[in-house]
Amino acid sequence: MNSKIEVRVGTIDDVVKIHSLIPELNKPIVDDYAKRLQGTNHLILIAYEEQTPLGFKVGYDRYKDSSFYSWLGGVIPEHREKGVAKKLALVQENWALAVGYKSIKMKTRNKYKPMLQFALSNGFNIVGFEEKDKLNNHVIFLEKKL
């Protein structure tokens, strides 16, 4: 893991700027972020190398069942393979554990193979599946005990 990567708590505005640089993600909508996070225990993380943003990870208390939902994240393409996602996930997990969560939940789609591989290699287990209109859109639910 790159030791020059620093992870800091960020804002919705920080995330939206980075989100728009990640081609796999749909166009960011500030209101979507605000609506999901309003009134929840949430965490917005931004990874930097010096002052350059590399990626983000956003999660919140979605299910109210002692799990923390890792909702959305991404790494700008030119900064991938540097350990950014791993560092963001580690900071999120350590925070979630410290504030009393028992697990991290997430979901991904069949078409996001790198995300699925990342989750499995980082201790997540597949706990559910939802069929959609196309094979690539099927949803895979994952959970990691803390």
List pLDDT tens digits, range 43-65. 999 999 999 999 999 999 999 99
pLDDT of residue 3: 73
Mean per-residue pLDDT over the chain, rounded? 95
Q: Is the pLDDT of residue 1 over 70?
A: no
Sequence spans of domains, the chain = 5-145
Q: Is the pLDDT of residue 135 over 90?
A: yes
Residues of the chain with pLDDT > 70: what percent? 99
HSE-CB at 37 with a 13 A cutoff on CA atoms is: 18
**Total-model pTM:** 0.94
pLDDT of residue 2: 61
Span 5-145 CATH architecture = 3-Layer(aba) Sandwich (3.40)
